Structure 1
Amino acid sequence: MIEVCCGSFEDAMMASECGIKRVELNSALSLGGLTPSLGSLIMIKQYSDIEIVSMVRARAGGFCYTNYQYEQMLENLKLLLAYGTDGVSFGFLNEDRTIDKNRCQEFLENVKNEGRKATFHRAFDCTRDPYEAIETLIDLGFDRLLTSGQEATAEEGIHLLADLQKKYGNQIEIIAGCGVNENNAQKIIDKTGIKQLHSTCRGWGVDATGMGERVSFQVSDEDGDRYRSVSVDRIKKFVEICG
C-alpha cells in the first residue's frame, strides 16, 4: 500500500489518476501537515473513490495541546467523520513525551463509533520509549502507526522499523514514512518487512504573483515562485517500483 501525503483536492486527484488507492489529506504541508478543509474532503469524495485519511492537527510545533486547541481538534474530527473521511490521523503526547491516553481514547471512541480507521501519526517519533509507546497504542486500539523509526528519515530508522514490525506487526499496521521515495522504497520494504509506505512524492507548482514591489508572499526565499504540490512523475515511478 502506497499512501501519498496530499495538501489539497488537486494533489489527491493527481494521486488518484496515477492509481494511488489511499491518501493522507492535509493542509499546510510546509508545517508538517495540519487539518484539511472540509471542501477538499467533500470534493475528493465527490470525484474519486480513493481512501482518505484526514489529518487532525491544530498547529505546528509539537503534540501537547492546550484545552482550547484540543476542543478545536475534537470538533474538526467530528466534522471530518460526518463528511465521510475513511480514516483519521492524529497524535497526542503528554509533556513528558508519553502517549496522552485520555485524549487518544476520546478521539478513538468517536472514530470507532463511525466504523473508521485511526492512525497515530509521527508524534510517535518524539516519544521517549518507542516500545512502551507502541504497546500503549495497541492497547488503546489504534489501527495503524505512521513512523520513521524515530530518526529524521525512515531510511535512517530502518533498524527500529524492522524491530517494531517483527515484534508488533501482527497487532498494528506499521506505515514507514518520512523521506520515503522512489529511490529507497524497495530497500525499506526489504530491510523492514513493512508493506505500507507513506510518501509526499514532492513536486512543485509555480505562481509568479507572490512577489510585489515591496512585499512577498512566497513560501520562502529559497523556494521563490514555487509552492508545494505532488509530482505525477514521482508517483508513477513509485507505483512502478512498489506495484
Structure 2
Amino acid sequence: MNPPRFQFEVCANGVESCLAAQAGGADRVELCAGIPEGGTTPSFGDIATARSLLDRTRLHVIIRPRGGDFRYSPLEERIMLEDIANARRLGADGVVLGCLTADGTVDLPLMGRLMKAAQGMSVTFHRAFDVCRDPFRALEDIIGLGCHRILTSGQQPTAEAGIPLLRELQKAAAGRITLLAGCGVNVGNIARIARETGITEFHFSARETVESDMAWHNDAVSMGGTVRIEEYTRPVTTERRVRDTIAAAHKG
C-alpha cells in the first residue's frame, strides 16, 4: 500500500512567517492578520509582498473583515467582495472564507455571491464550520457550493480533541471535498490525527516566540488599552518547526 500523500498548510501571521513556511517545506500558506481574533484579512502590502517572494508555496488569503461571529451585514459583504478582488489582482492562489446565518447554518445566498467572485481560485471554508449548528448538514451545503476544502477542528478547541467528529466527517465527505484538520496541530499529535481520522491535509502555525530588540520598554502603556497584551514579544513561524511537524506526519 502506498503511503498517504499529505498536504501541509501553515497559518502565517505575516510575510516573515510565509517565508519560513516555504523554507520548511509547506505546500501552501494561509496569510492572516489579527491572529488573536482567529484571523482577519491581511493588508494589501502583505499580500503583494508575500506573492512576490513565494515561488514554491501556494498563497491563500483569508477574507474576514473583522473578528467575532460569522454573520455578515451587506456592508461587510461589500468589503469581502473588494478583498477577494484584491487577492485575485495580487495573484493569490486561493481565498479562505465562511459565512453563517443567525441560526447557525451556512449562509448559502451570501456564500454563493462570494464563490462567484472567487471563481477560478481555490476556496477553503474556514472554521466558521466549527461553530455551525449541524456539521453534517453544513458539510453537504459546502460541497454543494463548490468549495474545495473545509478547515475544521471537529468542532472542538483543538483538532486532536475533535478526532471523533473529524473521523465521521471524513467518512461522510467520501472524497467529495477535502477536510483540512487545523487548530492545535503540532509535532506531537499530527501523526495521531492522521492515523485516526484518515485526513491527509493539515493546517498549523509552527510558531515560536521572538523577543523584541527594543532596548527601551514602557510597561505602563498597553496598545490594547485595558486589555493587556505582550508588547515586546511576537509569535513567528519558524522553518525548524515547520520541518519537524511535516517529518512527524510522515513518520506516522
**Into which bin does the TM-score normalised by the smaller protein fall?**
over 0.9
AA aligned to 2:167 is A
Tell me which of 161, 179, 183 is aligned to 1:178. 183
**Any idea what the Cα deviations from partners look like across 1:129-171, whole Å, max 9, x if unmatched?**
0000000001111111000011111111101101111121410
Hey, what does 1:35 align to over in structure 2?
41
1:233 Cα deviation from its structure 2 partner: 2.5
Matched, 1:76 2:73: no
Question: SS of the counterpart of 1:23?
Answer: strand
Preserved contact between residue 29 and residue 58 of structure 2 (Cα < 8 Å): yes
Residue pairs, 1:153-192, within 5 angstroms: 153-192=158-197
1:94 Cα deviation from its structure 2 partner: 0.5
Matched, 1:204 2:204: no
Query: Which residues of structure 1 form unaligned runs of 5+?
Result: none
1:81 Cα deviation from its structure 2 partner: 1.1
Hey, what does 2:23 align to over in structure 1?
17
Question: SS of the counterpart of 1:132?
Answer: helix
**Any idea what the Cα deviations from partners look like across 1:40-94, whole Å, max 9, x if unmatched?**
2212221222101100001111100222122111111111111111000000000
Question: SS of the counterpart of 2:209?
Answer: strand
AA aligned to 1:124 is F
RMSD: 1.8
Q: How many pairs are equivalent?
A: 241
AA aligned to 1:174 is L
Bigger relative contact order, structure 1 or 2, given CA contacts below 8 A and separation 6+? 2
Distance in 2 (alpha carbons) for counterparts of 1:106 and 1:224: 39
Distance in 2 (alpha carbons) for counterparts of 1:151 and 1:67: 30
1:221 Cα deviation from its structure 2 partner: 4.5
Question: SS of the counterpart of 1:238?
Answer: helix
**Any idea what the Cα deviations from partners look like across 1:2-61, whole Å, max 9, x if unmatched?**
100001111101111112120001111121110011212212221222101100001111
1:211 Cα deviation from its structure 2 partner: 4.0
Distance in 1 (alpha carbons) for counterparts of 2:10 and 2:127: 15
Distance in 1 (alpha carbons) for counterparts of 2:173 and 2:219: 56
1:208 Cα deviation from its structure 2 partner: 5.6
Matched, 1:92 2:96: no
Residue pairs, 1:50-65, within 5 angstroms: 50-65=57-72
Preserved contact between residue 211 and residue 217 of structure 1 (Cα < 8 Å): no
Preserved contact between residue 158 and residue 192 of structure 1 (Cα < 8 Å): yes
Give the alignment's TM-score, normalised by structure 1.
0.93
Hey, what does 2:3 align to over in structure 1?
none
Distance in 2 (alpha carbons) for counterparts of 1:153 and 1:217: 29
Preserved contact between residue 24 and residue 240 of structure 2 (Cα < 8 Å): no
1:226 Cα deviation from its structure 2 partner: 1.2
Give the alignment's TM-score, normalised by structure 2.
0.90
In structure 2, relative to structure 1, the CA distance for the partners of 1:159 and 1:103 (3 Å cut) is same
Tell me which of 219, 224, 232 is aligned to 1:225. 232
Preserved contact between residue 206 and residue 241 of structure 2 (Cα < 8 Å): yes
Query: Which residues of structure 2 form unaligned runs of 5+?
Result: 1-6
Matched, 1:127 2:132: yes
